[in-house]
Amino acid sequence: MVGATLPGMENTTTYPGTTDLATHYPGRRVGHEAARRRAEQGPGADRTWRLGADGEERTAHLLESLTGRTRRDRFLHRPPSWRVLHSVPLDDGTADIDHVLIGPPGVCVVNTRHHRGGRVLLDGDALVVNGFRTDAVARARAEGALARALLLPRLEAELGPVPVRPVIAIVGAAMQVARWPDDVIVATEGALIAAMRGLAPVLDARRVERVHDVARRPESWRV
């Protein structure tokens, strides 16, 4: 969930940093914000943030089917084919990216949208929730561009082209599709993993590990 980096999502709270982003749990930043709002404003003030944290946890659970080590991986003493980072802080920690999935297709920047029981319509660049048009597709595209700008200059000189794909994971709701956006993957819980596995592979295992090694460092995400 990008905050200070994108217009309209400003947040003044900075959260504790770490030296290894692979230790971050899903929903870390929004969970901190939920706790702060509840403490300062009372019960109920944290509802939206708690829903966000719950959604990120659900997406993370889905991604485990990609990032877990298979029996063959363990037999061959090799890492899993995919890696994931959660709650990746941007700049001073007042903003984050929900999930950064790294695998054979490259880097997938995943934004979770938790619309529990909502009516969701996708019409090109418009993601309409309960009749209200959101800018979720534009924000996902901006997150992808930001990840590309921050991460890839450190990598492409060494590894060659590394695709970055913005992804929206719709949690807690079905979705009706009128038109798909050109460059943003939008998938419900039931379709997310198939969408990721359907992407063409371009990175071998060594390159995946190298991208993960760089991406897990907090300094890789600072402007």
Sketch the domain layout of the chain as residue ranges.
Answer: 21-221
Q: Are 121 and 175 within 8 A, CB to CB? A: yes
Q: Is the pLDDT of residue 14 over 70?
A: no
Q: Are 97 and 2 within 8 A, CB to CB? A: yes
Q: Is the pLDDT of residue 223 over 80?
A: no
Q: Beta-carbon neighbour count of residue 44 at 10 Å?
A: 9
C-alpha distances out from residue 154 to 77, 79, 168, 214, Å? 28, 23, 25, 8
**What pLDDT score does 214 carry?**
95
Runs of H (alpha helix) within the chain: 28-41, 47-67, 71-76, 136-151, 156-159, 189-197, 205-215
Q: Is the pLDDT of residue 101 over 90?
A: yes
Q: Are 214 and 147 within 8 A, CB to CB? A: no
Helix orientation angle between 28-41 and 47-67, rounded to the nearest 10 degrees: 160
Q: Is the pLDDT of residue 76 over 70?
A: no
Q: Are 164 and 148 within 8 A, CB to CB? A: yes
**What pLDDT score does 6 carry?**
33
Question: Residue 17: pLDDT band by 50, 70, 90 thresholds?
Answer: low
**What pLDDT score does 29 carry?**
86
C-alpha distances out from residue 149 to 15, 64, 97, 115, 132, Å? 23, 27, 14, 30, 31
Pairing of strands 132-134, 95-103: unpaired
**What pLDDT score does 16 carry?**
53
Sheet of 185-188: strands edge to edge?
Answer: 83-90, 95-103, 106-114, 164-171, 185-188
Q: Is the pLDDT of residue 111 over 50?
A: yes
Average confidence score pLDDT of the chain = 87
* pTM, 2 dp: 0.87
**What pLDDT score does 211 carry?**
96
Q: Which one is predicted more confidently, 47 or 219?
A: 219
Please compute, for residue 211, the number of CA atoms within 13 A of its CA located in the half-sphere on the CB side.
Answer: 34
Q: Which one is predicted more confidently, 177 or 11?
A: 177
Q: Is the pLDDT of residue 53 over 60?
A: yes
Residues linked to residue 111 through DSSP beta bridges, in sequence order: 168
